[in-house]
């Protein structure tokens, strides 16, 4: 009787831990995803502006700094995009891949959060 009670309480405790923390893990991932989307949008808007025309090292560094402010280390961030000068009317692309924190308590979820964007450059050679 004592062992049966202990076993059922242990199982209950196990499930309660999952019920408590699983929504929190979801919320963390959702917040991270939105932040990364905002950061790549910001970088893309800057990169396509009339006097830049590319993802310059300064813009990439700014994006990494913004992510670092919320605890995402630059070593967990991989940027791929247009780093060569792009004339007005041609497309600039940017993609951020960030290592993901655990999504599920019971098994491994997606390893990365990937957000990207494409927009035309406004750069004119003077």
Residues 77-106 vs other proteins: string with x where CB under 8 A?
Answer: -----------xx-x-x-------------
Question: How many angstroms separate the CA atoms of 121 and 44, rounded?
Answer: 9
- Out of 17, 23, 68, 102, which residue is the one contacting other proteins (CB under 8 A)? 23
Q: Does the footprint of other proteins cover residue 73 (CB under 8 A)?
A: no
User: Are 101 and 26 spatial neighbours (Cβ–Cβ below 8 Å)?
Assistant: no
Number of residues that bind other proteins (CB under 8 A): 31
Question: How many angstroms separate the CA atoms of 93 and 75, rounded?
Answer: 21
- Out of 6, 26, 61, 65, which residue is the one contacting other proteins (CB under 8 A)? 26
Tokens of 68: 């670092």
Q: Does the footprint of other proteins cover residue 10 (CB under 8 A)?
A: no
Checking DSSP bridges between strand 91-99 and strand 77-81, what pairing results, if any?
Answer: antiparallel
Using CA of residue 75, residue 72, residue 28, residue 20, what is the dihedral sign? Answer: positive
Q: What residues line the site for other proteins (CB under 8 A)?
A: 8-9, 11-12, 15-16, 18-19, 22-23, 26-27, 30, 33-34, 37, 41, 44, 48, 50, 88-89, 91, 93, 116-120, 122, 124
């Amino acid at each position: 009787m004592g062992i049966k009670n202990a076993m059922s309480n242990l199982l209950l405790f196990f499930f309660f831990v999952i019920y408590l923390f699983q929504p929190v893990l979801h919320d963390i991932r959702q917040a991270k995803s939105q932040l990364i989307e905002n950061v790549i949008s910001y970088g893309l808007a800057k990169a396509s502006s009339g006097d830049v025309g590319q993802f310059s090292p300064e813009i990439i560094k700014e994006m990494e700094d913004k992510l670092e402010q919320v605890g995402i280390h630059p070593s967990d961030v991989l940027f791929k995009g247009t780093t060569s000068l792009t004339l007005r009317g041609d497309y600039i692309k940017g993609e951020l891949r960030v290592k993901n924190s655990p999504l599920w308590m019971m098994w491994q979820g997606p390893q990365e959060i990937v957000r990207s964007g494409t927009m035309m450059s406004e750069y004119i050679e003077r």
